[in-house]
């Protein structure tokens, strides 16, 4: 079906003497009438006169709009440019933090409450506002000593100020804004959208942190129309500010027995699926249980749940270590490995380590000792094979004098 714009353009092109590839049978009644009226007319003046008579807008005033629309169109104007012609007008993909936080796009930081989203965003703010710093993965910060705009929609400026002072954030580069007492900081409100845009225009930040999505939307997170309006605005804000934009968000609640069994995914984000669709990068922050007992202050894992514009980065981890004289700081490193219940092979390996700690022993003697612990020869061999960094042979395996040896830490 042809739109009215396409049909009007076809008439305009024909009036200009351009070739028009269109099937007249596809035209609606009024445009088909115009088409037939101008087909056999020799010149443009005759065509225009025939067009006016066909539309008869003196007796049918509503047809005057069609006449004006046809005449206002530029001949040959119905054209779509190939990418080759417009590629230089499209900005290249750039990163604030390579592989993690894209420039000019939304990055969502998702986690359960108290996982440390605010602390993580403040740690990144400290790095961006400092001179000569690096990102948590060791990559250099390309634009250091830069401004950070932190929008505390959850209204906890006292907490943020104390952490900013404790972590020695460059306060001259750190711009903290929060709602007035009793107000809801609703970014669905055009007035608040203009205000935040003006803050970003004045601060010229390298990074905008918004904490959190649930606090900037008074109409909830499930209505797609309301969610789309806010996320479209945030996309424009990031693009126009040419900076990274981190929006913290909460996860759906899981049944208690399922929590330790599942890794985070995009599906865990609370609210409308459009939240996931609008973000180019989604980072998940989770507390990892690394010991038999769960520790709420245990190590955290940061990994990408969604990354549309590049490969998924290697997950990272951090621990909260005591600060001086008070508070805490983040110590970054490899992603922590979750605790796993030891199986019989693991138990056998621990027993083997205790036995070999006293002296090296041949396999035959180990098998005899293992009978008291219900460890078979095959199990003992599997334990050694599973942990090659813990146990080694002193000689060739088939050498009658070969013994097994516990590898000391300084030998690994």
pLDDT digits 0-9 by tens, 130-139: 998 899 999 9
Beta bridge partners, 111, equal 250, 285
One domain, residues 268 and 187: yes
Both tokens of 275, joined, read 């939240």
- Report the pLDDT value the prediction gives residue 384, as an integer from 0 to 100: 93
- Report the pLDDT value the prediction gives residue 411, as an integer from 0 to 100: 60
**How many Cβ atoms are within 10 Å of 347's Cβ, its own excluded?**
15
Domain assignment present for residue 85? The answer is: no
One domain, residues 330 and 355: no
- What span, in angstroms and rounded, lies between the C-alpha atoms of 168 and 332? 17
Both tokens of 60, joined, read 């049918």
**What radius of gyration do the chain's Cα atoms show?**
34
pLDDT digits 0-9 by tens, 47-77: 999 998 999 887 888 899 999 999 999 998 8
CATH number for position 128 = 3.40.50.300
- Report the pLDDT value the prediction gives residue 261, as an integer from 0 to 100: 40
Domain assignment present for residue 177? The answer is: yes
Domain assignment present for residue 320? The answer is: yes
- What span, in angstroms and rounded, lies between the C-alpha atoms of 297 and 156? 21
Query: For residues 388 and 365, is the Cβ–Cβ distance under 8 A?
Result: no
Quote the number of domains for the chain: 3
Q: ω before 325 within 30° of 0 (cis)? A: yes
One domain, residues 326 and 350: no
One domain, residues 269 and 191: yes
- Report the pLDDT value the prediction gives residue 296, as an integer from 0 to 100: 84
- What span, in angstroms and rounded, lies between the C-alpha atoms of 165 and 186? 28
Confidence check: pLDDT of 258 > 60: no
Query: For residues 159 and 218, is the Cβ–Cβ distance under 8 A?
Result: no
One domain, residues 162 and 134: yes
One domain, residues 250 and 185: yes
Residue 379 belongs to domain spanning: 344-411
**For range 208-237, the mean pLDDT:** 91
Query: For residues 123 and 263, is the Cβ–Cβ distance under 8 A?
Result: no
pLDDT digits 0-9 by tens, 306-320: 999 999 999 999 999
Both tokens of 362, joined, read 């041949």
State the SS3 of 206-269.
CEEEEECHHHCCCCCCCCHHHHHHHHHHHHHHHHHHCCEEEEEEEECCCCCCCHHHCCCCHHHE
One domain, residues 270 and 159: yes
Q: Residue count of the chain, please give it.
A: 412
Picking from 334, 362, 396, the residue at the C-terminal end of a domain is: 334
- Report the pLDDT value the prediction gives residue 382, as an integer from 0 to 100: 94
Instruction: Supply φ then ψ for residue 140, to 5 degrees.
Output: -70, 145
- Report the pLDDT value the prediction gives residue 59, as an integer from 0 to 100: 84
- Report the pLDDT value the prediction gives residue 185, as an integer from 0 to 100: 85
Domain assignment present for residue 68? The answer is: yes
One domain, residues 273 and 136: yes
pLDDT band at 255 (very low <50, low <70, confident <90, very high): low
Confidence check: pLDDT of 170 > 80: yes
**What's the mean pLDDT when you consider all of the chain?**
90
The burial class, CB within 10 Å (0-12 / 13-18 / 19+), for 62 is: exposed
One domain, residues 330 and 354: no
Both tokens of 343, joined, read 């199986």
Instruction: List all residues 6 or more positions away from 395 whose beta carbon is below 8 Å from its beta carbon.
Output: 401, 402, 403
Query: For residues 110 and 285, is the Cβ–Cβ distance under 8 A?
Result: yes
- Report the pLDDT value the prediction gives residue 57, as an integer from 0 to 100: 81
Q: Which residue has the higher pLDDT, 48 or 245?
A: 245
pLDDT band at 183 (very low <50, low <70, confident <90, very high): confident
- What span, in angstroms and rounded, lies between the C-alpha atoms of 102 and 117? 18
Q: In which residue are the tokens 């943020």 written?
A: 160
- What span, in angstroms and rounded, lies between the C-alpha atoms of 233 and 245? 12
pLDDT digits 0-9 by tens, 383-400: 999 998 899 999 998 899
Beta bridge partners, 140, equal 134
One domain, residues 210 and 315: yes
Q: Which residue has the higher pLDDT, 60 or 182?
A: 60
pLDDT digits 0-9 by tens, 329-364: 899 999 998 888 888 999 999 999 999 999 999 999
CA dihedral 350, 356, 361, 365 (to 10 degrees): -40
């Amino acid at each position: 079906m042809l739109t009215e714009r396409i049909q009007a353009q076809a008439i305009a092109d024909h009036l200009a003497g351009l070739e028009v590839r269109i099937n007249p049978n596809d035209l609606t009644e009024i445009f088909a009438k115009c088409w037939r009226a101008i087909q056999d007319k020799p010149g443009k003046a005759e065509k225009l006169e025939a067009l006016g008579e066909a539309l008869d807008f003196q007796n049918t005033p509503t047809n005057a709009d069609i006449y004006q629309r046809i005449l206002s169109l530029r001949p040959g104007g119905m054209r779509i440019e190939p990418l080759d012609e417009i590629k230089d007008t499209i900005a290249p993909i750039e990163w604030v933090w390579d592989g993690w936080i894209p420039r000019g796009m939304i990055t969502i930081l998702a986690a359960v409450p108290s996982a440390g989203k605010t602390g993580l965003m403040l740690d990144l703010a400290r790095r961006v506002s400092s001179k000569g710093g690096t990102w948590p993965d060791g990559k250099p910060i390309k634009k250091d000593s830069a401004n950070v705009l932190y929008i505390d929609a959850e209204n906890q400026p006292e907490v943020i100020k104390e952490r900013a002072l404790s972590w020695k954030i460059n306060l001259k580069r750190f711009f903290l804004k929060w709602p007035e007492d009793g107000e809801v900081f609703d970014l669905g409100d055009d007035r608040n959208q203009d205000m935040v845009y003006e803050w970003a225009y004045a601060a010229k930040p390298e990074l905008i942190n918004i904490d959190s999505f649930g606090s900037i939307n008074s109409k909830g997170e499930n209505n797609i129309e309301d969610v789309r309006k806010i996320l479209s605005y945030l996309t424009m804000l990031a693009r126009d500010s040419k900076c990274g934009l981190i929006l913290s968000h909460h996860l759906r609640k899981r049944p208690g027995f399922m929590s330790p069994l599942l890794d985070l995914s995009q599906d865990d984000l609370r609210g409308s699926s459009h939240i996931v669709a609008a973000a180019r990068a989604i980072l998940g922050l989770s507390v990892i249980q690394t010991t038999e007992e769960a520790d709420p202050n245990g190590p955290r894992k940061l990994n990408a749940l969604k990354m549309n514009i590049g490969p998924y980065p290697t997950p990272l981890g951090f621990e909260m270590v005591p600060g001086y004289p008070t508070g805490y700081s983040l110590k970054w490193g490899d992603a922590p490995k979750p605790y796993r219940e030891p199986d019989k092979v693991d138990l056998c390996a621990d027993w083997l380590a205790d036995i070999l700690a006293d002296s090296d022993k041949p396999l035959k003697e180990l098998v005899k000792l293992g009978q008291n612990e219900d460890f078979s020869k095959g199990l003992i061999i599997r334990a050694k094979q599973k942990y090659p960094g813990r146990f080694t042979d002193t000689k060739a395996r088939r050498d009658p004098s070969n013994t097994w040896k516990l590898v000391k830490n300084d030998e690994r």
